[in-house]
Amino acid sequence: MEVKKLFIVLFLFNAILVSAQQNGPSTVATERAQKKVERREKINQLIKQEEEGALIYQKQGAFAFKFNTDGWSMFYEHGKYKTLTKTNLWWLELGERKHPKEEKVPTLSASQGFLVISSYIYGKINNFYYLKAGFGQQKLIGGKGNKNGVAVSAIYGGGLTAGFLKPYYIEINDPNTNQREQIKYNNNDNLFLDPSIILGKGDFTKGFNEMKFVPGVHARTAIRFDYGRYNEILSAIEVGLNAEYYSKTMPLLLLNPEKKFFFNAYVALVFGKRK
């Protein structure tokens, strides 16, 4: 009798499990299909509104990470739609510029009984950071009425730049005192340029209290591929050029000319939201 009850329970459990497996995917598939239909209808409605001359969004906010040919940067951008093809932009950008001839030199040293692997950049004088505040426009040049939502826009503008030079420190084993020290470059500094005593780069925070400010201006031009155009979520890839001019020369690497003007190319990953 007990065996019969057990068999009935197992049979019912198996029937429920089979039913769930059969109905589950079908329900999920139905929901997905319904969402696709709703999404398609929403896009068609937005395209219709745009064709009638209505602004489907009013503003946008976006963050981006830029891979520059001479460093890296990240920026926040705010945009206000003025017409169907024109958007006013302002942005803040923070980044670091590196000299194209910088090369990391690996080092191996002993500290408190352990081997320490490090590296440094030979002849580097300063770290070069910058903060930009700019204003410009984004103009739609392709993709109008495209149902896949991809738009191609031109971006142009410029503004003010604050350049910051932070002394680059290295760690050495001072032959005069036989002690580990962190030093920066001074004119005709033999210790700074002697690779046989260099142990590696100094602490990242070293030199921030000695930072020098250099004002400048910048210009930006780019092409943005926005593959989420008819979507509240902004998703885009941007390819562009930067130009910057500073009021003083920026010493970065020994035995190389100091410059006021800098020019680079970049690729940026842009993500944000429209309202």
Per-residue model confidence as pLDDT tens digits over 31-47: 776 666 666 666 566 65
Query: Is the model's pLDDT at 251 over the cut of 70?
Result: yes
3 state DSSP class of 231 = coil
Q: What 3 state SS string does 161-179 have? A: EEEEEEECCEEEEECCCCE
**29-38, 141-150, 161-170: which is most confident:** 161-170
Helix and strand numbers, DSSP H then E, in the chain: 1, 13
Angular region, 19: left φ>0, alpha ψ -120 to 50, beta rest: alpha
CA dihedral 96, 264, 78, 216 (to 10 degrees): 70
Take residue 262 and report the two structure tokens written for it. 């800098």
How is domain 58-274 classified at the architecture level of CATH?
Beta Barrel (2.40)
User: What burial class does residue 246 get, using C-beta atoms within 10 Å of its C-beta: 0-12 exposed, 13-18 middle, 19+ buried?
Assistant: buried
CA 264 – CA 170 distance, rounded (Å): 28
Q: What is the mean pLDDT of residues 99-110?
A: 88
| pLDDT score for 108 | 81
Mean pLDDT, all residues of the chain: 84
- What pLDDT was estimated at residue 10? 52
Single pTM value for the model: 0.79
